[in-house]
A and B are shown apart, each in its own frame.
Chain A
């Protein structure tokens, strides 16, 4: 397991936003409520579908660095969502011509990241301390990866694609929505106050919070 004691995501200023209450209200359509509930109910199978177990282990470690969720009680398994999508052979309608098909690109990139961990720091990527993982990921984002495995596989583009997918997955779900004070799903019957600094009563407000954290990642605040 990756050490989470270096938790650095402070508490959300929307800590008092009762999203569950809002979702249960008449402001949310049945179709919208269903979509969010289905997404929340997804659980990862014990064995990945498309990626190998070692590849999945690296992808999970990458997800923790790219979209940290140490402030979440019940984090989203972003790596599993990618594996599930690959298994369903779904896509977003396009891919960079400079990359091979998604499953191949992602699988190979994970093998290569592991390799980079061994070469640079004498351990597999998933077993490295977070600072080291970040170093490797930052190099990947800059496109500065060495080794045969990266031939024909732009590290920077794969990094971008993985990041975008993980970020979009996180903010598509309730945890991400609550975190940023998004109430747009509660659009029934409509919005009356749409101008600057205007708020319909069901929209959350920001609160002042004290973000001192103790070693176990517990939050103290309010």
Chain B
């Protein structure tokens, strides 16, 4: 074993892991180890393919390295500068990115409701947006599998959507914000349920992976879970992949794709510890997330003859509402997203297409203070005094539809980063549908928080999650990949991450990204 392989083996508690040579032509080179890359790598390796995973960030040891400290955990986010333009500039860094083995799953809050069937048929159902080239039904077995593998806790039966199997684990306990949202919704006859979360409510043996500890209610999911209770990729699909014989190379930043005379990618150049290395591969799986994936394609002028790469950037309408309560909430405890309502999935009489879900949210103090400053512009003694009510603060949040527009897009700027590569510019203008949905959502949230007894209520308009920039479709002129994630132009390139979503779905993305990742792997295997 190389010394690298030894470090990885000990980090993931494995006896021995495989290592490939740079001149080996591996079957699958996977770039990025978030929810898009990790499940696929595990599946391909299990089928006997030779798999190498390149990950720009490092392999953390959560047990000893993760501090319960927001600023110290800054390194979990993609902090290379992105330039945010348009009338609704999107915040990145802590708001929208992942860096490290596990990608964005290292800091996701693990809220994993399933999308509903009509989310995949937005165009047929509403006349707006586009339909997915995949039916909801086709993803069902994959949803089941992912939920069992990472360990999802949730209510059974689940009140919304088509019948589904019981969640593998019972729901997590409710924190203050979840209780308050239940109180407000009860008053207004809005149905609520404990939210499905990929965090273990009781100890659980993850199939093929091993025992995981129960969540200790430390509420810190957004800055890394130190207990392993959260179903992030680094404690689930990455060990699965390694056990099946995949090789993991952390700290490896892909920059250049070499293309042969036939238009196939023959090798990928990446930098590691300041050195330039090159890996040959039969097939490349690009799973770098909805900004870096199109950025790499644009940098390499790859698969973009139809000028679709980077277009149709979408983000969930993610409006938050905050209030101060008489009770102590202590919003740093418990699984942050404890409660859910999908009663607004398709609100009656709405003047917009699609809908949204409502979730209760916990928050850590630095994030709260930053939002207070940005959202309310409070400063001086007023800010210091407001912060002394942090312990009494509770929030609710929506995640709602966002229609694709070709002008909302990722492009390359004239400025370069530390690697001398052009920084990405992301332009985003919320359209009339997003504005109408946000206004409806704000009215709903205000009614709920009024009924729950909130005072000093303020909203924080926000867009969360990034999608759509290499979307899948059957029309080769208006999409980048097909339903199996394969590039329309480059025969041995497949994309598997949030960028292939044709629409954002009224649900958090990761469960669908993981399900699609497994499906993409199965489709690839079926073709061989």
Point out residues on A near B: beta carbons under 8 Å: 8-10, 12-14, 28-32, 34-36, 39, 65-68, 89-98, 101, 134, 137, 141, 160, 163-164, 167-172, 176-177, 179-185, 187, 189-192, 194-199, 203, 206
Contact = CB atoms under 8 A, between A and B. Distances in A.
Contact of A93 (B82, B384, B418): B82
27 contacts: A35-B69, A35-B71, A39-B71, A67-B383, A68-B380, A91-B80, A92-B77, A94-B84, A101-B415, A134-B380, A163-B373, A169-B71, A171-B365, A171-B366, A171-B387, A172-B69, A179-B387, A180-B388, A183-B332, A184-B218, A184-B332, A185-B69, A191-B333, A194-B175, A196-B176, A196-B329, A197-B327
Q: Is the interface of A mostly helix, strand, loop or mixed?
A: loop
A167 B378 CA distance: 10
Contacts of B380: 8, 65-68, 134
Given A93-B78, A172-B366, A65 B379 contact: yes
B456 interface: no
Interface size class of B (residues with CB under 8 A): 35 or more
Contacts of B218: 184, 187, 190-191
B447 interface: no
A184 B220 contact: yes
Contacts of A164: 370, 373-374
A194 B333 contact: yes
B50 to A, nearest CB: 34
A72 to B, nearest CB: 10
A163 B379 contact: yes
Nearest to A190: B216
A180 B85 contact: no
B332 A172 contact: no
A50 to B, nearest CB: 16
Closest 8 CB pairs of A and B: A93-B93, A190-B216, A184-B332, A97-B85, A35-B72, A94-B92, A194-B334, A187-B218
B216 A95 contact: no
A184 B377 contact: no
Contact of A191 (B79, B89, B334, B381): B334
A31 B72 contact: yes
B48 interface: no
A22 to B, nearest CB: 12
Interface of B: 64-72, 74, 77-86, 89-94, 97, 173-176, 179-180, 216-220, 226, 325, 327-330, 332-334, 364-366, 369-370, 372-374, 377, 379-381, 383-385, 387-388, 390-391, 415, 418, 425, 427
Contacts of B85: 97-98
A160 B325 CA distance: 27
Given A34-B67, A90-B79, A93-B79, A180 B391 contact: yes
Contacts of B381: 8-10, 68
Contacts of B425: 97
Contacts of A180: 365, 387-388, 390-391
A220 B82 CA distance: 49
Contacts of A141: 377, 379
A95 B67 contact: no
A203 B330 CA distance: 9
Given A187-B218, A194-B334, 4 more contacts: A93-B79, A179-B387, A181-B390, A184-B219
B384 A68 contact: yes
A93 B92 contact: yes
A160 B387 contact: no
B84 A95 contact: yes
Contacts of B174: 194-195
A134 B81 CA distance: 31
A13 B392 CA distance: 13
